[in-house]
Amino acid sequence: MKNLKMKSARAAKDLSQDDLAKICKVSRQTISAIEKGDYNPTINLCISICKALDKTLDELFWE
């Protein structure tokens, strides 16, 4: 399932996939795969993404 909430939050902070990947210390392909719904990130990566985007886990990863 696509993660449009994460993509939207990233765009709202004017970050590219590469920018977010560097902040979270993962590859751009990992961020892309999460947004496409092709990869289920670890809880630690979820937390890192949330901190970078100033969002909660609920806001980005749960419905």
- Segments forming the whole domain that contains residue 18: 4-55
- Is 63 within a domain? no
Q: Is 9 exposed, middle or buried (0-12, 13-18, 19+ CB in 10 A)?
A: buried
User: What's 17's domain CATH number?
Assistant: 1.10.260.40
Return the CA Rg of the chain: 10
How many folded domains does the chain comprise? Answer: 1
- Is 47 within a domain? yes
pTM: 0.92
For residue 25, which of 8, 3, 4, 45 has the smallest C-alpha distance? 45
Give the pLDDT confidence score for residue 63 in this predicted structure. 73
Question: Tens of pLDDT along 3-20?
Answer: 999 999 999 999 999 999
Task: Sort residue 26 into left (φ over 0), alpha (ψ -120 to 50) or beta.
Answer: beta
- List the pLDDT tens digit at each of the 63 positions of the chain: 789 999 999 999 999 999 999 999 999 999 999 999 999 999 999 999 999 999 999 999 987
The Cα-based distances of 6 to 29, 42 in angstroms read 15, 15
